[in-house]
C-alpha cells in the first residue's frame, strides 16, 4: 500500500516536474522567439503601429520561423530556407504584395521569330554567368510595388545593351512604371513583360523622357519557344532572358540558398531574369536567376533553380514564357 502510494506520488510529482519543465521551456522558447523578432525588426527597420499589431505580427513571425526550421531540419533537399525581410508576412500577404499584383498572365501569343533556333546545343558553353561578363547590374529592390515585370524586362535589356554596345547602364524600372501607363502595362498594378520591351529606357536617374533621350533603345523582343529548356539554354547562352515563374509559395518566399528543386506550381505570377546556367559539383544542373527583392533575399538577391527537369514547363514554370529584347 505504502509502495503503491509512493509510486503514485512519484508519478504525480514526476508529472508535475515534467509539466512544469515543459511550461518553463515553452516560456523560454517564446521569449527567445520574441527576442529574435525584436532583433529582426531592428535589422529590417520594421515598426508596428501598436502592441496589438506587434503581437499579431509576432505570431506570423513565429509560424514562419517554425516552418523554415522544420523545412531545413528535414535535411534531404538541395536548397534551404532562411528568415528574410518577408518573415512577418503570411504567405497570402506575400503573394499579394510581391507577386500576383505585379504580373499579368499572357494572352494568346503570336509566335515570334526565335533567332537562336539554329544554334547547336553542343556548341554552347558548359556554363555561363553574365555577371562575370559585366552584363548584370547590382540586384535591385522592387519594394512594395508589384512591378516585377519591369525589373525582369530591365535586367534582360541591360544585358543586351551591354552585349551590343559594351556599356553597362543601370536602366530605370521607375521610368517604365511611370511612363508605360499609356500602353498595355498598368504601372504598379501589373504588366506584361513583352509589352515592357516596347518602351525606350532611360538611365536610372532619368525622368520621363521622349524616346530620343533614352539611354537605351531596343528594337523589340522575341519569345523563346515555350516549354523547351534546350531552347532557353540557347537564348541564355547568348543574352540574359526574362523569365516568368510561379514565385508565390513559401519555399520561394523564404528561399535562402542552394538549387531550388521544390514543388512550386506553374501559376505564373512573378518575373525574374535568367542570367546563366551551370552544374553543381554533385552534377545538379541549374539556372542562375536574378531577382528584384534586394540582396537580403536568396543568394545575395540571386536564385538557382533546377534545370532540365522532367516537367517540360520547367521548375516553377520557368520555361513557359521566356522572352528577350532584341537590338
Ligand atoms: C534556321 O534554318 C532554317 C533552314 O536553313 C532557315 O529556314 C531558318 O530561317 C533559320 N532560322 C533562323 C532564325 O535563322
Q: What is the pLDDT of residue 106?
A: 59
User: Which segment of 112-116, 165-169, 214-218, 323-327 scores lowest on mean pLDDT?
Assistant: 214-218
Ligand 1, residues at Cβ distance < 6 Å: 113, 115, 117-118
Q: Strand 302-306 to strand 255-260: parallel, antiparallel, or no bridges (unpaired)?
A: parallel
Q: How many CB atoms neighbour CB 327 within 10 A?
A: 14
Residue 117: half-sphere exposure toward Cβ, Cα within 13 Å? 9
pLDDT digits 0-9 by tens, 31-65: 999 999 999 999 999 999 999 999 999 999 999 99
Q: What is the pLDDT of residue 206?
A: 40
**Alpha carbon of 116 to ligand 1 centroid (Å):** 9
What proportion of the chain, given as a percentage, has pLDDT over 90? 58
**For residues 157 and 196, what is the distance between their CA atoms, to the nearest angstrom?**
10
**Alpha carbon of 84 to ligand 1 centroid (Å):** 47
Q: With contact defined as beta carbons under 8 Å apart, do 255 and 81 qualify? A: yes
Q: Strand 220-223 to strand 285-290: parallel, antiparallel, or no bridges (unpaired)?
A: unpaired
User: Strand, coil or helix: what is 192?
Assistant: coil
**Alpha carbon of 234 to ligand 1 centroid (Å):** 15
- The residues annotated as belonging to the active site are 148, 270, 291
How far is CA 56 from each of CA 45, 220, 313, rounded to the nearest angstrom? 17, 47, 38
Task: Specify the ligand 1 atom closest to the Cα of 115.
Answer: 13
Give the residue among 147, 148, 158 at the shortest CA–CA distance from 203: 158
**Binning pLDDT at 50, 70 and 90, where does residue 293 land?**
very high
**Binning pLDDT at 50, 70 and 90, where does residue 254 land?**
very high
DSSP string across 266-296:
----EEEEEEEEEE-TT--EEEEEE-SB-TT
Q: What is the pLDDT of residue 107?
A: 60
Q: Which residue has the higher pLDDT, 97 or 87?
A: 87
pLDDT digits 0-9 by tens, 95-126: 888 775 445 555 666 778 999 999 999 999 99
Closest protein CA for atom 2 of ligand 1: 118
Amino acid at each position: 500500500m505504502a509502495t503503491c502510494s509512493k509510486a503514485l506520488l512519484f508519478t504525480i510529482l514526476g508529472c508535475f516536474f515534467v509539466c512544469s519543465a515543459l511550461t518553463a521551456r515553452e516560456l523560454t522558447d517564446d521569449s527567445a522567439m520574441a527576442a529574435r523578432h525584436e532583433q529582426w525588426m531592428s535589422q529590417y527597420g520594421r515598426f508596428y503601429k501598436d502592441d496589438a499589431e506587434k503581437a499579431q505580427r509576432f505570431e506570423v513571425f513565429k509560424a514562419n520561423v517554425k516552418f523554415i526550421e522544420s523545412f531545413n531540419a528535414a535535411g534531404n533537399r538541395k536548397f534551404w530556407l532562411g528568415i528574410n525581410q518577408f518573415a512577418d508576412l503570411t504567405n497570402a500577404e506575400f503573394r499579394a504584395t510581391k507577386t500576383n499584383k505585379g504580373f499579368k498572365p499572357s494572352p494568346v501569343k503570336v509566335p515570334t521569330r526565335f533567332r537562336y533556333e539554329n544554334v547547336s546545343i553542343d556548341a554552347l558553353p558548359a556554363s555561363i554567368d553574365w555577371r562575370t561578363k559585366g552584363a548584370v547590374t547590382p540586384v535591385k529592390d522592387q519594394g512594395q510595388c508589384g512591378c516585377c515585370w519591369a525589373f525582369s524586362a530591365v535586367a534582360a535589356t541591360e544585358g543586351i545593351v551591354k552585349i551590343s554596345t559594351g556599356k553597362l547602364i543601370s536602366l530605370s524600372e521607375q521610368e517604365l512604371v511611370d511612363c508605360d501607363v499609356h500602353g498595355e502595362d498598368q504601372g504598379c498594378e501589373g504588366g506584361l513583360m513583352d509589352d515592357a520591351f516596347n518602351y525606350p529606357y532611360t538611365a536610372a536617374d532619368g525622368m520621363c523622357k521622349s524616346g530620343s533621350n533614352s539611354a537605351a533603345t531596343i528594337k523589340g523582343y522575341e519569345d523563346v519557344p515555350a516549354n523547351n529548356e534546350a531552347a532557353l539554354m540557347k537564348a541564355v547562352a547568348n543574352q540574359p532572358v526574362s523569365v516568368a515563374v510561379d514565385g508565390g509559395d513559401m519555399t520561394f518566399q523564404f528561399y535562402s540558398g542552394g538549387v531550388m528543386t521544390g514543388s512550386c506550381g506553374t501559376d505564373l505570377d512573378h518575373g525574374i531574369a535568367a542570367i546563366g546556367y551551370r552544374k553543381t559539383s554533385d552534377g545538379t544542373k541549374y539556372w542562375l536567376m536574378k531577382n528584384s527583392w534586394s540582396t537580403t533575399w536568396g543568394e545575395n538577391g540571386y536564385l538557382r533553380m533546377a534545370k532540365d527537369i522532367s516537367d517540360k514547363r520547367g521548375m516553377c514554370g520557368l520555361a513557359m514564357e521566356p522572352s528577350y529584347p532584341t537590338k
